[in-house]
Structure 1
């Protein structure tokens, strides 16, 4: 690994020796005590909040290709702007693209994990979305430089014999959900694994990377809604209409929320089947309740419905409020509450950030009213 990408100093305390605590409580107490009583120690100590690590990498767009016949999906190939190797990644990873407008959006890496020469992402134009995809399509071209963060992996593949007891891999992609699946196919094929795939979409014209997938022959079935109608869960999983998929199948899927929720329900009573999935849209709110948020800058009070996110409610008043993943792990929508009781539903914020009143508007909720510093 190039020295530019070598780990920096320790940013949080290490786990306790017995593995019970994620951060050793004795070291945390000792560090805080020393920083309080010995100012010199505070200036020398390398310990700091992990959230402060905001490193970015400048990349150059070296290729731009239309990868769907309806021309609504483009692939961008990114290389290090200084000509060096890029950080390694594994199938299922994504990166954060920092757009010239200030927006940040997450895109799955859909190139070859075996190379460090380039990254590839694909972006479907969503005319009525948050503006990120339109900006990519309309403003980014070959030769432009942009900043990225990552890669990070929230959708890793566990290989049979190495973290998985599965004997068969079943990939299911819906439309642009093919992007995190593409590197998985390459890895499975390279390792000689037993796998198959169902790829669905509205029409053949809307399906990205069709030509690229021909190399896998009949391992991949392409099914379109306009010709075949919506597939059944048995068809998606490659199983029998009566018994479902064979025991020992590991399913990796990405696509529309209804498809993912259908698979979750269908496989709920199948402990012999692994189900791994990634969303490109926010998950439904569970156990929600109505509450209100007050904005300190305007004194506006906004009602957040039981079935919507705080981010959605905020965007009704301020469409430019920052966000990216909408699932509680990128931290783009972090904001501080100055009053109220927060119901944190993320796995990202540190204890210190929570103690200071920070929350993620895409997943956090509240009881009563929250006052936001915005």
Structure 2
């Protein structure tokens, strides 16, 4: 993909516009989708698509500069310019917009990016919605100008002026048929999760949660069978399925190793997973058709995976 434009959209946030180098149309995508951007190292980072789903001539992503990050945002901020080419994978969607009677969107900082096309979709469909958008300051909050197109439906809460948003008031008495879509820092998502039933809430993390509510005390050894070869590996407590199958020669896309990016999603052919990811919904976890093998384990003694 060729970078056709790099634009500052907030303090510490740039938007990259990506096009096909040959001028071709790009694959279709739906709100909530993201791209894997493959950088030197190799670094792989996920960035939500935040442009118009109807415009197949370009993709838009936004990148927050993270001074203490792993180097991906620094590279994109400091080394990438209009005319450069980037290697991408996708789009892929782990944050799909589901049917609801009312949508309550909650965004924190750069978490506004997947929410923008969701808002455009529900607005175009004539559905009811509202957005609470928080950030450190107005200068740090991207795309405020685009949100001006929705007067009366957007509440902007810059922390330096208004403090933290009142989530109790926002989420304490949700209308029947409401779905809450949240994206932002781990602390915000933890706070929203504490106030919402799991059947109501959909969320996407950009980094591992600040609190870990997984109880690993009962972890036990189990076998994983690679269906394509029949090879079996033993996963001990403290080991990940991903690491063991990579050692066994399996070719698996992966990145975060924290259960948040969805890259390592793998189909389950036999066995029951102990799901510990932050990608699948509760209903999808109950279906037991796939798992994120970087963090999830087995409830029984054996898994057969489509590897």
Which position in structure 1 is the counterpart of 2:214?
286
Deviation by residue 1:166-202 (Cα, 9 ceiling, x = unmatched): 3211111000000100000111111111111110011
Counterpart CA distance in 2 for 1:152 and 1:254 is 17
Which position in structure 2 is the counterpart of 1:63?
5
1:365 to 1:131, Cα distance in 2 relative to 1, 3 A: farther
Counterpart CA distance in 1 for 2:142 and 2:155 is 14
Q: Which runs of 5+ in 1 are unaligned?
A: 1-58, 159-163, 238-242, 292-303, 312-321, 335-342, 349-358, 367-374
1:89 partnered with 2:21 = no
Counterpart CA distance in 2 for 1:102 and 1:324 is 13
- Secondary structure at the aligned position of 2:192 is classed as helix
Counterpart CA distance in 1 for 2:160 and 2:51 is 29
Counterparts of residues 3-42 of structure 1 (less than 5 Å): none
1:175 to 1:236, Cα distance in 2 relative to 1, 3 A: farther
Which position in structure 1 is the counterpart of 2:19?
79
- Secondary structure at the aligned position of 2:173 is classed as coil
Q: Which has the higher helix share?
A: 1
- Secondary structure at the aligned position of 2:130 is classed as strand
2:167–2:192 CA contact under 8 A, matched in 1: yes
Counterpart CA distance in 2 for 1:327 and 1:150 is 18
Of structures 1 and 2, the one with the larger relative CO (CA 8 A, separation 6+) is 2
- Secondary structure at the aligned position of 2:152 is classed as helix
Of the three residues 193, 203, 225, the one matched with 2:127 is: 193
Counterpart CA distance in 2 for 1:222 and 1:95 is 27
2:259–2:276 CA contact under 8 A, matched in 1: no
Q: Which has the higher strand share?
A: 2
1:276 to 1:203, Cα distance in 2 relative to 1, 3 A: same
Counterpart CA distance in 1 for 2:131 and 2:181 is 9
Which position in structure 1 is the counterpart of 2:258?
326
Counterpart CA distance in 1 for 2:54 and 2:149 is 18
Counterparts of residues 1-374 of structure 1 (less than 5 Å): 59-68=1-10, 70=11, 72-158=12-98, 164=99, 166-237=100-171, 244-268=173-197, 274-283=200-209, 284=212, 286-288=214-216, 323-324=255-256, 326-327=258-259, 329-331=262-264, 362-363=294-295
Query: Which of the pair has more CA radius of gyration?
Result: 1
User: 1:251 Cα shift?
Assistant: 1.1
User: 1:98 Cα shift?
Assistant: 0.8
Counterpart CA distance in 2 for 1:126 and 1:331 is 24
Return the TM-score normalized by structure 1.
0.60
1:141 to 1:236, Cα distance in 2 relative to 1, 3 A: farther
- Secondary structure at the aligned position of 1:180 is classed as helix
Deviation by residue 1:145-172 (Cα, 9 ceiling, x = unmatched): 11110001000101xxxxx3x3211111
1:107–1:121 CA contact under 8 A, matched in 2: yes
Equivalent residues, number: 248
Q: Which runs of 5+ in 2 are unaligned?
A: 220-236, 244-253, 267-273, 281-291, 299-307
1:190 to 1:323, Cα distance in 2 relative to 1, 3 A: same
Which position in structure 2 is the counterpart of 1:356?
none
User: 1:226 Cα shift?
Assistant: 1.4
1:234–1:245 CA contact under 8 A, matched in 2: no
